[in-house]
Amino acid sequence: MALDIRPHAEGAALPLRVQPKAKRAAVLGAHGGALKVAVTAPPEDGRANDAVLALLRDALNLSRARLALLSGHTSRSKVVLVRDVTPEQLAALVARFASP
């Protein structure tokens, strides 16, 4: 299933499905139009959100300033802003993770 990456005024919006308190942190692939990620941090005090952004920074080789959480601060379904990219460029960056 293709990811539902949307254009945003500052770049592109990437939908995520997050699994907190996982045994290991990883990008798991596409899940219902979103990129599924697992983080070891618990969903308390924003720790899982911070871990998600750190995981994406490392996996996509992006700087901290290029990622921001747009929505889903207290939900497993989140939307992350990736600044200074088009939806097509972002799709190319995450393609290796979203492939079946």
Separation of alpha carbons 49 and 52, rounded Å? 5
Residue 97's pLDDT band, with cuts at 50, 70 and 90, is confident
* Predicted confidence (pLDDT) at residue 2 exceeds the cutoff of 90: no
Instruction: Give the model's pLDDT for residue 1.
Output: 57
In a domain, 57, yes or no: yes
pLDDT of residue 8: 98
**pTM, to two decimals:** 0.93
Q: E strand or H helix at 81, and its extent?
A: strand 77-83
Domain assignment present for 52: yes
39 within some domain:
yes
Q: Exposed, middle or buried, 93 (CB in 10 Å: 0-12/13-18/19+)?
A: buried
Question: In this structure, is residue 29 part of a structural domain?
Answer: yes
Question: Residues of the chain with pLDDT > 70: what percent?
Answer: 97
DSSP one-letter string for 20-75: -S-SS-EEEEEETTEEEEE-SS-SSTTHHHHHHHHHHHHHHT--GGGEEEEE-TTS
The tally of domains found in the chain comes to 1
In a domain? residue 46: yes
CATH (domain of 54): 3.30.1200.10
Residue 31 in any domain: the answer is: yes
Is position 99 within any domain? no
Residue 98: the pLDDT is 75
User: What digits encode the pLDDT tens for the residues 61-77?
Assistant: 999 999 999 999 999 99
- Domain range for 65 is 6-76
What's the rounded Cα separation, in Å, for the pair 24 and 26?
6
Write out pLDDT tens, residues 24-56.
Answer: 999 999 999 999 999 999 999 999 999 999 999
Do 38 and 28 contact (CB within 8 A), yes or no?
A: yes
Residue 92 lies inside a defined structural domain of this protein:
no
